[in-house]
Amino acid sequence: MQLEYIYAILFIAIIMLLRLRRQNKGYKASAMRIFRYPAVYIVLSLLLVLYTPSVMLFLLTAISIILGYAIGITFGSKSSVFSSQGKMMYKRSKEIFTIWMAAFVIRVLIEFLFPINTPSAVGMQSLYLTYAIPSGVYFWYMVADMLLAFSAGMLLGEALHIYKKYKSAVSAQTKNNAA
């Protein structure tokens, strides 16, 4: 195994451990923090589509995000907002976190198991056409990208639940402090 792969695996493992630790501890609540990750993942999902001129892939990505959003709305009720040491905190639902983590791991595994050499500028068009008609390795890249788009939609749906709970908790806290 090449040294670059070992470094990449260690880097990814550290990111995953930090995210798992943060998930268990909770996140400091603010409107920006609640919507940051969903926004980043939605943008990344759409950027993946921009690099492939495929109407089918665009539609599948949009459908994945919408389906994920609908499921995120459902599982978002399992998220929580709480006060810890005078700070408002929130925890995402374990189900959505697990699905997001699995999608991330699957995408990373596909990158390692089926590496695609970066094509030259001349070869980019053939890569687009190959990816636009998914088969073989490109099919698995597309499936992983759809999973990530799905999890991005779930994070967005869940974020709306968390935001409502956060606003309610802040309002209640303000009323208690005023009384």
141 domain-assigned? yes
131 domain-assigned? yes
**Sign, CA torsion 83/85/89/95:** negative
Top pLDDT among 12 and 93 is at 93
158 domain-assigned? yes
The predicted pLDDT at position 1 comes to 56
13 domain-assigned? no
Top pLDDT among 34 and 130 is at 34
Q: What are the C-alpha distances in Å from 168 to residues 128, 173, 179?
A: 47, 9, 17
Strands 80-84, 27-28: pairing is: unpaired
Q: What are the C-alpha distances in Å from 144 to residues 24, 51, 97, 130?
A: 26, 15, 16, 16
Q: Quick check: 166 and 34 in contact, CB under 8 A?
A: yes
CA atoms within 13 A on the CB side of 121: 0
Q: Quick check: 94 and 88 in contact, CB under 8 A?
A: no
Predicted TM-score (pTM) of the model is 0.79
3 domain-assigned? no
Q: Name the helix (H) or strand (E) containing 2.
A: none
Top pLDDT among 11 and 160 is at 160
The predicted pLDDT at position 66 comes to 94
The predicted pLDDT at position 52 comes to 65
Residue 84 DSSP SS3: strand
Closest CA to 84 of 26, 30, 31: 26
The predicted pLDDT at position 65 comes to 92
| Residue range 71-130, pLDDT digits in tens | 999 988 899 999 888 889 999 998 998 888 888 888 888 877 777 665 544 444 444 444
Give the total number of structural domains in the chain: 1
Range of the domain at 47: 27-171
177 domain-assigned? no
Top pLDDT among 36 and 141 is at 36
The predicted pLDDT at position 12 comes to 82
> What integer best gives the mean pLDDT of the chain?
82
